[in-house]
Each structure stands twice: as structure tokens, then as C-alpha cells.
Amino acid sequence: MRALRLESWQSTPQLREVPVPEPGPGQVLVQMGGAGACHSDLHLMDEFTDGALPWGPPFTLGHENAGWVHAVGSHVHGLEPGQPVAVVGAWGCGTCPRCLAGLETYCDRPDLAPAPGGGGGLGLDGGMADYLLVPSARHVVPLPEGLAPADAAPLTDAALTPYHAIRRSREKLVPGSLAVVIGVGGLGHLAVQILRATTAAVVVAVDAREAARDLAVRSGADLALAPGDSLVDQIREAGHGFGADVVLDMVGTDQTLQTAAAAARQLADITLVGLGGGTLPYSFFSVPYEVSVQSTYWGNRSELVEVLDLAARGHLRPEVTRFPLDRAGMVYDRLREGAIEGRAVVVAHEEYTP
């Protein structure tokens, strides 16, 4: 089968021929219908070196995955060949208290996890291939009726990550509140839709690109703003002069974090999602009183079920550009250039073939 392999850190991924995996006990082999291309993959290709993470290459890229059950190992029940499914991305040990509570992103036993803090496409073979071997059936979620794998794939990260972040702050997203999304890319345009679908907040999006601001408005933002000297004043005006109750920074640079702190009102949440490498000096007087600054990482299986339901009912519509698997390497070049609007999805198979 074909697989887009990252053979070493700071290298260009290569499309290789590798054997089709055989599912063992408890495992599921998925024929791939869609694998999202994520900015975090660019960090793997361009920045990381040996020892930076508890795992490393070689592995097949693709951590946003959906397709059809192709074969199952022994002791797997309730999944049948041809059934459309999404794959939960984070694969923990499955036995620690966090994993048993469904929080495999925060597995407490990295010594038992197959790739601590990672999973398929992050340390282990992912879905930019004809087939993906999922090590446990608990990581496989049946798709709701009417949701195609190529459309579901980006929901497993690009929607799940902001959904998890927004749920953490839901008590602050009441009528009259203001939510700000900084960066309207693959995650940001879905964050806007999730805020619109699940909260009563006024939604302000911020992006330097006019096309991204247009996408934000199409996604349901009440206001889309460009960075500039008047940005914070514009945000505060949208928040009745007080500022933002919740800021989701999908970029994560020094500049965007400074904007987040300047735009937040007292008691606000600033949630860092993007991997831009920025820092925010924190002291008693550097942010308004009782502002919480927090990071977030991915989401869990039960939240993915909720995200898929929202999408199946038309509340989430990822902006998807599809590419065949043979052009997967080129997708990352376009992503690096900022030429992808919404999410790029690599499609190995348009439909299930037994």
C-alpha cells in the first residue's frame, strides 16, 4: 500500500510502498477515506530534533483520520467491514485513571502508552496511507448517517481541539459575553462555528488575511477584524467597552498572545491552542485581575461523538479542499505557503472497496 512517511526529523515526507497491516486481537484495520493535513505536521518536518519528544520518526503522517472498517481482529464486536468510522487520534495506555475516564490525551502512564502524548500520525503510523491500523477498537467511532469520511476527517482534530477548549470555558460564554478567535485557519474557522452553534456569545475573529476574514464571516462570526493599532479598541467596543470573556489564540506567537492579554476583561479565559512558540509574561499586573491563561491539547472520545453529531446535523461545515494521496507531499508545501483555506484533506479512497 501507499504511505506518506516522515523518515527523519527536519525532512520532506516521502510516499513509499509498505505492507498492508494485519489486525491483531482487539485491533481494527481502516481503509482510509480522508486524512487532514495539519500545521502541527509542519513543526514535525521543520523544527523538531532527536529528544524533543518522547517518540520520533520513522512513521506515516496523518493524525486526522476517517474511513471505513476493512477488517477487525479477534474480540472486536460492533464493527463491520464497510462501516464508515472516524478515528480518535490520541492513543494512551488505556488503563490509567485518566484513560479510563476517556482522557487519553492526558495519559498518566507514558511508560505504557505506545507513543506518549501522540498516536496515529504522531509517533505511530497514521492515516496518509491506503490503510490505517488502529491498535484498539475503543479509538474507532462510527460516523452518523450522512457524514462522509473525507468531511469527517478534519473534525477529529480541527474541530475537536477548539470544541474541547470552548467547553472548558462554557460557563463564561453566556448571553452578553464576547468570544475572540485569533487566527482563522483550519481550526479557527471551526472554532467560530462551534461558538455559534453551542454558545450565546458574540463572536469576533481576527486574522491578517482578507480571505480568512471572509471565511470567518461565512462561518458565523459577528465581526472579523485585521490586526493593527486599533484592534484592541475594536474588540473592547464589541464587548461593550469591557473586552473579551474568552480568547482562543489559534496562532500562539508573542504578538497574538499580547493581543489576547490586552483584549481580555477581568475574569476572562485566554486559551493557547496554536504552536507558534510565543510566550506571555505573567505577573500580578500583566493581565487583568483573575484572568486564567491556559493551554489545551486535542479532545476526547466523548467530545468527538458530540462534534460528529453537530456536523451530521449541519451545525459544523469544515471548509475542505481535497487532494489525492499521490499529491500528499505537495499539500504540505501549499500549507506552508498559507495557500490552503480551511482544511486540506488527503483522500486515498473515494468509497469503500472490499
Distance CA 150, CA 4 (A): 17
Q: Write out pLDDT tens, residues 8-66.
A: 999 999 999 999 999 999 999 999 999 999 988 998 899 888 988 899 999 999 999 99
Residue 158 — left, alpha, or beta (φ > 0 → left; ψ -120 to 50 → alpha)? Answer: alpha
* pLDDT at position 39: 87
Task: Tell which CATH architecture fits domain 160-295.
Answer: 3-Layer(aba) Sandwich (3.40)
Q: Angle CA(10)–CA(48)–CA(166) in degrees, nearest 5?
A: 125
- Model confidence, pTM: 0.95
| Domain locations along the chain | 2-154+299-347, 160-295
Q: Write out pLDDT tens, residues 305-315.
A: 999 999 999 99
- From the list 229, 228, 224, the residue with the least C-alpha distance to 212 is 224
Average pLDDT over residues 238-242: 92
Task: Tell which CATH architecture fits domain 2-154+299-347.
Answer: Alpha-Beta Complex (3.90)
* pLDDT at position 145: 94
* pLDDT at position 53: 87
* pLDDT at position 352: 96
* pLDDT at position 130: 98
